């Protein structure tokens, strides 16, 4: 077991003792957590130790409690700074795409989304972020561009988002980050994990899927985008126009997030997402 420093090691030891866990093995470290594989009374589980004041992971726990194992890993225990999760030991869904099974992978995503969105919604749990708030960075960027006289794609993306959010359809608890690396095979079938904990129209959960996997020959292919969007729309009984519109708006949102960062490669990532938005916008004309 690699060390995460005295403070993290103390938190790990305290959590292991409190929850009667053993055999911790560091799996990975992200900006928001350190993730361990642990033994929980003879069963393999995932332990997340959260970064200080990490609200996104806490919202994710709210969503996982709501999903209650339907299309998502189970939240076994949680505290403000730790989560114990069901372990999905199988392959990531992206492996299907890598062996040429792109459309079957999209159909699996549709099945996972159907399970997530079919959980009774009334009343929705507290602590989630609405899509109106989630799109805030895009709205701010569009406002700045209008004032500067810049006819940017952010303005068009924000206009689409405003139109979609003004008349939402089938509002529910959203995963918020569905893509091919956030779904794994398990003994219970394909399960999602790492939700963002959002609240809004269920069509939104298709958008990130259509921006993934991060391979230009797939994501920057208009015919492929339209085909996959149609699969999702048909399987989930959604309007194809709204699937594509959310994809365009979401790609602009992603670009607006990255445009506020600095560092090597950020400009290329912004261009990547704006290219997705451009392709989705064109596909809207064919839908």
- Which are the catalytic amino acids? 177
How many residues can be counted in the chain? Answer: 287
Strands 82-86 and 43-50: antiparallel
Torsion of CA 178, 32, 139, 145, to 10 degrees: -110
Q: How far apart are CA 244 and CA 199, in angstroms?
A: 19
Q: How far apart are CA 191 and CA 30, in angstroms?
A: 20
Retrieve residue 260's tokens.
């506020």
Q: How far apart are CA 237 and CA 273, in angstroms?
A: 27
Task: Kindly list the strands in the beta sheet with 129-130, ordered across the sheet, starting from the edge strand earlier in the chain.
Answer: 129-130, 198-201, 171-174
Tell me the Ramachandran region of residue 68: left when phi exceeds 0, alpha when psi lies from -120 to 50, beta otherwise.
Answer: left
Asked if 83 and 66 touch (Cβ cutoff 8 Å), the reply is no
Retrieve residue 44's tokens.
């393999």
């Amino acid at each position: 077991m690699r060390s995460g420093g005295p403070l993290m090691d103390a938190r790990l030891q305290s959590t292991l003792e409190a929850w009667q866990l053993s055999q911790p093995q560091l799996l990975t470290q992200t900006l928001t957590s350190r993730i361990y594989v642990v033994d929980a009374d003879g069963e393999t589980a995932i332990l997340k130790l959260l970064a200080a004041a990490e609200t996104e992971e806490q919202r994710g726990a709210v969503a996982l409690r709501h999903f209650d194992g339907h299309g998502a890993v189970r939240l076994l225990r949680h505290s403000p700074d730790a989560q114990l999760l069901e372990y999905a030991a199988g392959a990531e869904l992206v492996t299907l795409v890598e062996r040429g099974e792109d459309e079957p992978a999209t159909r699996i995503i549709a099945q996972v989304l159907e399970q997530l969105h079919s959980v009774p919604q009334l009343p929705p749990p507290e602590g989630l972020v609405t899509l109106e708030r989630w799109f805030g960075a895009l709205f701010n960027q569009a406002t700045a561009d209008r004032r500067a006289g810049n006819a940017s794609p952010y303005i068009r993306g924000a206009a689409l988002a405003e139109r979609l959010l003004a008349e939402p359809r089938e509002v529910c608890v959203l995963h918020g980050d569905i893509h091919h690396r956030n779904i794994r095979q398990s003994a219970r079938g394909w399960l999602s994990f790492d939700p963002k904990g959002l609240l809004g129209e269920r069509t939104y959960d298709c958008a990130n899927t259509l921006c993934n996997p991060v391979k230009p020959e797939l994501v920057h292919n208009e015919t492929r985008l339209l085909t996959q969007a149609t699969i999702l729309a048909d399987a989930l009984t959604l309007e194809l126009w709204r699937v594509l519109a959310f994809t365009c708006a979401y790609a602009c949102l992603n670009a607006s997030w990255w445009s506020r960062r600095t560092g090597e490669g950020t400009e290329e990532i912004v261009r990547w997402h704006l290219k997705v938005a451009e392709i989705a916008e064109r596909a809207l004309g064919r839908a």
